Structure 1
Amino acid sequence: MNKPVKRVAAIHDLSGFGRASLTAIIPILSTMGIQVCPMPTAVLSSHTGGFNGYSFVDLTDSMIEYKNHWKQLNIDFDCIYSGFLGSTKQIDIISEFIDDFGTDDNIVVVDPVMGDNGELYDTMDSEMIVSMKKLVCKADIITPNFTEAVYLLDKNYDLNISEKEIKEYLIELSSMGPDVVIMTSVPESKTSKNTSVIAYDRKTNKFWKVTCKYIPAYFPGTGDCFTSVIVGSLLQGDSLPIALDRGVQFITACIRASYGFDYPHREGVLLERVLQNLNMPVMVSSYELI
């Protein structure tokens, strides 16, 4: 029996304050007409990007109960989507989840959240990198930023990198397992005021690139928002380059809608002001084949 709407298992943390992880993923995918079934990896009073003294409840053991109950209910998903994880044990649980719920017809999307700007997050270490590599092998699509890509590949973080080398990185990441690799925050030349997203589709052996103007502001949670739009777009039947375009356009709109307001950027982008953009057609396709 066909489901009336697509269904996603979203395996992420839940932060009570700040627009990141599930508090961003659920409204985005719901707006795009996708049912979100959250499996919280942890519950925090706020996200960790700029806040101190937050409460943290580890839900690793609950994840096992979640998985077992969903298996009893015989739930099927159109997508399994994981993000920030709190321990290597959680990666083992998600690997089992993919084994139990993954099919030839659904897609597994792994956002290997580990760091940014050349550094690992405080909660990450070398053991997590090794475990994340194993999870990446089970994915159909991964969405690392440039920092996470170099950690997965054991490369040096060097912003002076050519497009040819980026392509080589993407192919190497795809050889680990995923058919599609989407790299965000790809560095441009020192004189450029742009930033790029570049993707590689192994099945078609094509590289797609979307470039946008760099806006000098940092908002936590934009990576979660971007990957969520990619997931929603693909489940709606869009092609990979159109999904990239929609993701970049939406994040750009989020940042532009937020940047002019005087509020603490650690709270994340003003998602509520731009959610309706997700139901608009792609007006300008800025992707290119490289």
Structure 2
Amino acid sequence: MSKRTVKRVAAIHDLAGFGRSSLAVVVPIISTMGSQVCSVPTAVLSTHTGGFEEYSFVDLTENMVDFFGHWKKLNLEFDCIYSGFLGSPRQVDIISDFIDNFAVRNGYEDTLVVVDPVMADDGQLYSTMDETMVKRMRDLVAKADIITPNFTEACFLLDEPYDTKADKDTIKDWLYKLSQMGPEKVIITSAPAEDPHKTNVVAYNREDGRYWKVSCDYIPAHYPGTGDAFTSVIVGSLLQGDNLPISLDRGVQFITAAIRASYGETLPKREGVLLERVLGNLKMPVLVGSYELL
């Protein structure tokens, strides 16, 4: 990989015209954290799917082949390949080929492959997803270095029942099993906590065998796009040299600040968090580490 002063990320996500989600949050977050974002739209929607109905949905599966073909002719190189919401099961094959063709695996400055298996929340699949997509997402997860499912998505990937009372040992077992599917690092967001007023982000690093946890106050509000924002902070943090627990801290602190900045407003929550109010936080150091071993 040639020497570049700015890290480069291939961000493979949908593009929603209205609502702070997917590429609308991926691009500003990773850019603010100092890396270049090269966008690959998997689909174009009039709005995101969280809380909106009768939205326009344009599947860009066929366009992605030509898209990546042009990049190959240009001999583009990437420090990170980062995928999120997919528009069709066939896109798994296209993205897998892209990883095979563009990811550098030479032991030095390897390309970081991050898969956010965007499929479900609150125990249910999203309206554009089905069991076929769940099966294909397992194939894509196997290609990743890091995956960031929420608790529901972890259940679907493992074919486990959705149980919000899952204890620590169960969650550690799930983290381990997800890692055995391929990724070295697994992060599960919105994991149950013993304290009902808290929620957890948990992680496992197969390289050193350690499990991590970051807890935060539970705020009774749902904002679409926070998962996209969280994983984008993880990507930006790792690319600037942070380790896994520090990256978890950055992600949790940023999302917590974004939700708090939005919670007091009267705007519809389906529009997403007020990202514009908190982007500057990404340039601040992590002053107090709240991570702990799980």
TM-score by length of 2: 0.97
- Structure 1: distance between partners of 2:160 and 2:206: 21
- Structure 1: distance between partners of 2:21 and 2:41: 13
Give the equivalent residue in structure 1 for 2:111.
Answer: 106
The CA deviation string for residues 42-71 of structure 1, in whole angstroms up to 9 with x for no partner, is 111111111122222111111001110001
Structure 2 counterpart of 1:180, from 179, 185, 188: 185
> What letter corresponds to residue 142 of structure 1 in structure 2?
I
Classify the secondary structure of the residue corresponding to 2:280. helix
1:228-239 to 2 correspondences below 5 Å: 228-239=232-243
Is 1:203 the counterpart of 2:207? The answer is: yes
Give the drift of 1:2: 1.1
Give the equivalent residue in structure 1 for 2:28.
Answer: 27
> What letter corresponds to residue 173 of structure 1 in structure 2?
L
The CA deviation string for residues 68-112 of structure 1, in whole angstroms up to 9 with x for no partner, is 000110000000000000111111100111111111211100000
> What letter corresponds to residue 210 of structure 1 in structure 2?
V
Give the equivalent residue in structure 1 for 2:258.
Answer: 254
Classify the secondary structure of the residue corresponding to 1:129. helix
Give the equivalent residue in structure 2 for 1:133.
Answer: 138
Q: Structure 2 regions of 5+ residues with no counterpart?
A: none
- Structure 1: distance between partners of 2:133 and 2:54: 24
Identity of aligned residues (%): 65
The CA deviation string for residues 176-197 of structure 1, in whole angstroms up to 9 with x for no partner, is 00000000000113x5200000
Give the equivalent residue in structure 2 for 1:120.
Answer: 125
Is 1:154 the counterpart of 2:159? The answer is: yes
1:1-290 to 2 correspondences below 5 Å: 1-104=2-105, 105-189=110-194, 191-290=195-294
- Structure 2: distance between partners of 1:192 and 1:176: 30
Tell me the number of residue pairs that the alignment of Structure 1 and Structure 2 aligns.
289
> What letter corresponds to residue 218 of structure 1 in structure 2?
H
The CA deviation string for residues 144-165 of structure 1, in whole angstroms up to 9 with x for no partner, is 0110001100111111111011
The CA deviation string for residues 216-261 of structure 1, in whole angstroms up to 9 with x for no partner, is 0000000000000000000000010000000000000000000000
After superposing the two structures, state which structure 1 stretch, 116-125 or 216-225, moved more.
116-125
Q: Structure 1 regions of 5+ residues with no counterpart?
A: none
Q: CA RMSD in A?
A: 0.8
Give the drift of 1:21: 0.1
Give the drift of 1:280: 0.4
Classify the secondary structure of the residue corresponding to 1:38. strand
- Structure 2: distance between partners of 1:109 and 1:23: 18
- Structure 2: distance between partners of 1:117 and 1:148: 9
- Structure 2: distance between partners of 1:166 and 1:57: 37
- Structure 2: distance between partners of 1:283 and 1:257: 20
Classify the secondary structure of the residue corresponding to 1:274. helix
- Structure 1: distance between partners of 2:213 and 2:19: 30
> What letter corresponds to residue 157 of structure 1 in structure 2?
Y
Classify the secondary structure of the residue corresponding to 2:169. helix
TM-score by length of 1: 0.98
